[in-house]
Amino acid sequence: MTTIVWRLASRVRRRVPIDERDRGAFAALELVILMPFIIVMLLLVVGFGRVERGRQLVDQAALAASRAASLTLNPAAAQTAANQAAQQTLSGGGLSCSSMNVSLDTSAFYAGGQVIAHLTCRTDLSGLALAGMPGAVSLKADSTSVLEQYRQINPGGG
């Protein structure tokens, strides 16, 4: 391979016309030079796609958390149900969070009111995007669910 490269380089320096036999060698040389850039671009596309998939999973988990919280009878049970629903959704989708926090806004926890779930998931990029990718990313999502208009609610929490 190196003799072909040297032969091509010497012909280019001397401005010797390239014959058909050498055109294939130039094509191989171009391929060798361009292939690492093509591979890096493909890996970046895959990495960004996996991060976006993680964001979608966090959105789904926030929706599940707010929905589960809206189906409970009191704010204390809502927090427990929201944590469980978010954890199940994330683990079912294959996303592992190094730290997950679900905070609920239950200030409007009455019939016809609403529950707002704020979900934060911190995950390593090596597990989310590609092996060996450094760093971590914090994924956040919010979701609101309306409580039913005609239902009995125990705001005391017991």
pLDDT digits (tens, 9 = 90+) for 86-139: 999 999 998 888 899 999 999 998 888 999 999 999 988 776 666 667 778 899
Higher pLDDT, 145 or 13: 145
Residue 37 lies in a domain: yes
Residue 139 lies in a domain: yes
Predicted pLDDT of residue 41: 86
Which amino acid, residue 153?
I
Cα separation, 147 vs 158, whole angstroms: 18
Confidence of residue 7 (pLDDT cuts 50, 70, 90): low
Predicted pLDDT of residue 146: 93
Residue 128 lies in a domain: yes
Residue 151 lies in a domain: no
Predicted pLDDT of residue 69: 94
Residue 51 lies in a domain: yes
Q: Note down the domain range covering 119.
A: 3-10+21-146
- In the chain, which residue ranges form alpha helices assigned H by DSSP? 2-14, 20-70, 75-93, 125-128
The token duo for 89 is 């959704």
Predicted pLDDT of residue 22: 63
* Domain count for the chain: 1
- Mean pLDDT on 72-97: 92
Residue 156 lies in a domain: no
Higher pLDDT, 70 or 2: 70
The token duo for 66 is 């707010």
- Mean pLDDT on 63-71: 95
